[in-house]
Amino acid sequence: MTKFAFIRDDMDRLREEGLLINLRVMGSPADAWMIVDGKRVLNLCTNNYLGLANHPRLKEAAKRAVDEWGVGPAAVRSIAGTQTLHVELEQRLAAFKGVEDALYVQSGFCANQAVIPALVGRDRESGQQDVIFSDRLNHASIIDGARLSGAKIVVYEHCDADDLERVIGENLPNYRRGLLVTDGVFSMDGDVAPLDRLYAVAERHGVMTMVDDAHGEGVLGGGKGIVHHFGLQGQFDVEMGTLSKAFGVVGGVIAGARVVIDYVRQRARPFLFSSAVTPADTAACLAAVDLLEESEDLVNRLWQNTAVLKGGLADLGFDVGHSETPIVPVMLGEAPLAKEFSRRLFEEGVFAMALGFPTVPRGKARIRVMNTAAHSREDLQFGLDAFSRVGKELGVI
């Protein structure tokens, strides 16, 4: 017995259950087609919703920024790392979202770890504790941010405003203050939170509101996100977003009322203790904002492609769950079947990864299909034909 025996045992268990993660290696930029493990395949796997990750204007903006600003800021934002590029991006993002202010951080994951502990927790002197009301299927970054805060976490049933009303009524009187946190678009199922109903409940009880719009930005609300989709701009207290999906780059954004964002600048540990985002990334994000402000063509193309792919998979007989967005889960049940389905798709020239526990609940393994504005109708038909062949071969359809 060695001190690392537990690692070998756990790895063996993951392998036996079909849950071991094997990393595929990308040999080309994220685009409609990619080189993966040395093979050219149709990419139905990345979050590159608008096809911006390899867009010429974003690449050119990044190159210019390197020439002007160098490759890194070499400091945290609060000491010497805040460059005019960062300030310009924050102002542009706030205007784009229709709010007073925004804060740009290193990633969407960091954004949730930054803002949640800043707003709620436990008072060191009095011992008073706050409470977070969290959707049962919220993203791991929300869960981790909530745990870091030290606040009490109360889970309400998925997208259920009536259950939110119940748990707020039962718990809020026992705590100092409350925060509602929900994903906007749920990344594994593609369904959308009923933000208007959740907001109404929270407002009745004086609870702060926060939405993680990582998969809604560039997708819903004409590209401006879920808050615009529901007409709640300027009313939701905090919008968290990421610039690594529809925007095609990297970074996270915390947007909302100026009083909130100013406070987060003082309290957010990832902002205070981790180096600022690089000039190239920041400039590329600015170029992405330019494109989204100029036209909704890419957003419209994304939704047109979504209708083709989602409708085609359903017509073939696949269970595509309850998705309302370009995230399309092809439900397969058990992880080994999902892994084999993904492997066979790859052999057929389609890159679409299997997702199993703990990313999704046990017994709900799936292939998560992600189309983009970069795909042509011919690309989508190629993917549908491959799904048809593999689905019949494995007895799924």
Active site residues: 187, 215, 245
Distance CA 192, CA 325 (A): 8
For residue 171, give both structure tokens. 């718990």
Residue the block writes with tokens 């994903």 = 183
Query: How do beta strands 178-183 and 354-355 pair?
Result: unpaired
Q: Across-strand partners of 239?
A: 211, 255
Q: How far apart are CA 151 and CA 161, in angstroms?
A: 21
Residue 272 CA to chain centroid, in angstroms? 23
Return d(Cα 133, Cα 172) in angstroms, integer.
9
How far is 301 from 147, CA to CA, in rounded Å? 39
Q: 355 near 396, Cβ under 8 Å?
A: no
Q: Which of these, 162, 112, 102, 110, lies nearest to 132 by C-alpha position?
A: 112
Contact 309, 328 (CB under 8 A): yes
Q: Which residues pair with 101 in a beta bridge?
A: 256
DSSP strands (E only) in 69-207: 101-105, 131-135, 152-156, 178-183
CA distances, 317 to each of 160, 170, 348, 362, 397 (Å): 29, 43, 19, 23, 6
44, amino acid identity: L
Q: How far apart are CA 101 and CA 79, in angstroms?
A: 20
Instruction: Give the integer Cα–Cα distance in Å for 304 and 365.
Output: 27
Q: From the DSSP assignment, how many helices (H) and strands (E) are in the chain?
A: 14, 13
Which residues are paired to 105 by β-bridges? Answer: 252
In the block, tokens 């990044």 appear at: 62
Cis amide bond preceding 329, omega within 30: no
